[in-house]
Amino acid sequence: MNMNTRKVLFVLQRLRLTWIMVTCIAIGIAACGGDSHTPAKYRVTVTNATYNQPLSPVAIILHRQEYSGWRIGSAASFGLEDLAESGNPTAFLEESSALRNAAVINTEQGSGILMPGNTEEIDVSGYYAEDLHITIASMLVNTNDAFTGVTQLALADLEVGESIKWLAAVYDAGTEENSETAATVPGPAAGGEGTNAMREVRDIVTRHPGVVTQADGYAESALNESHRFDNGAAVIQVERLR
């Protein structure tokens, strides 16, 4: 709505349109978005922006205000722990519906591992809501429990044909110590275990501090200099198709 208001102001200031045009833009505002009976469809395009961190199958949740995939400073859910430690999105997607059935509209997942430099498009459909949001999550698999994505991104102002694109930050699920050892990193760098039910002492979601690796003198690390990363890890675009 804000964008439309700005567009109207802009038109008034710069072009001094006749009242007919202003009226028609006002109709445009009234027609934007839709109501809860309007089917909506979004295309999520994810590009792996890292050098050598394959991304686990992307998890997508279309939801209303009440759901949140995670909160900085709060403990990760069991589903997010599983996604961030093993790369398996199933529990994260299933628990979202189970925990917040009324708030979760639909879920989708990517077809498989998204390699560095590769791009995948995933469509997700559901009924429009005035508080429609999206949550997207994927593990950086050559880590203990790093993931990228976004939660509670508002989609209500996005009109058909419009898109938003951003570089998604890297988070630490806070559920496993960042030991970087071969036994604990599941990705191709190590082939270690996925999810471990143990939680770390500081059991909270935060931004990720990065990996140390052997190249920085950490001999026990299974990672080398190629596994380092900086923010962010994925370019994500969400386009409203319908």
Partner 1 sequence: MKIKPILFLCSLFISSTQVHAEIVSIEMTNLTHGTYFAPLFLTAHTAQHRLFTVGEMASEEIQAMAEGGDISGLVTQADSLAASSVQNPAQGPLAPGASVMVEDWDTGSNDYLSVVAMLVPTNDGFVGLDSWKIPSMAGVYTVMLNGYDAGTEANDEIINGGGAPGVPGIPGNPGMNGGENASGVTDMETNMAVHIHRGVIGDTDLSGGISDLDARIHRWLNPVAKLVITVQ
Among residues 107 and 144, whose Cβ is nearest to partner 1?
Answer: 144
Among residues 66 and 230, whose Cβ is nearest to partner 1?
Answer: 230
CB 1 within 8 A of CB 26: no
As given in the structure block, the two tokens for residue 133 are 């949001």
Among residues 195 and 213, whose Cβ is nearest to partner 1?
Answer: 213
Q: How many residues bind partner 1 (CB under 8 A)?
A: 38
CB of 189 to partner 1, least distance (A): 12
CB 162 within 8 A of CB 240: yes
Among residues 82 and 180, whose Cβ is nearest to partner 1?
Answer: 180
Q: Identify residues 101-140 at the interface with partner 1 (CB under 8 A).
A: 116-119
**Closest among 150, 219, 147 to 176, alpha carbons compared:** 147
CB of 206 to partner 1, least distance (A): 15
Q: Identify residues 26-85 at the interface with partner 1 (CB under 8 A).
A: 27-28, 31, 47-52
Is 163 a residue that touches partner 1 (CB under 8 A)?
no
C-alpha separations of 36 from 29, 41, 62 in Å = 17, 13, 14
Is 21 a residue that touches partner 1 (CB under 8 A)?
yes
Tally Cβ neighbours within 10 Å of residue 9.
10
- Residues 212-231 as x/- pattern, contact with partner 1 by CB under 8 A: -x-xx--------xxxxxxx
52 Cβ contact partners less than 8 Å away, ≥ 6 residues apart: 116, 142, 189, 226, 227
Residue of 1, 5, 10, 94 interacting with partner 1 (CB under 8 A):
10
30 three-class SS: helix
CB 134 within 8 A of CB 51: no
- Characterise 236 by phi-psi region: left (phi > 0), alpha (psi -120 to 50), beta (else): beta
Residue of 113, 223, 233, 238 interacting with partner 1 (CB under 8 A):
233
Is 201 a residue that touches partner 1 (CB under 8 A)?
no
15 three-class SS: helix
Contact residues: partner 1, CB under 8 A: 6-7, 10-11, 14-15, 17, 21, 24-25, 27-28, 31, 47-52, 116-119, 167, 210, 213, 215-216, 225-233, 235
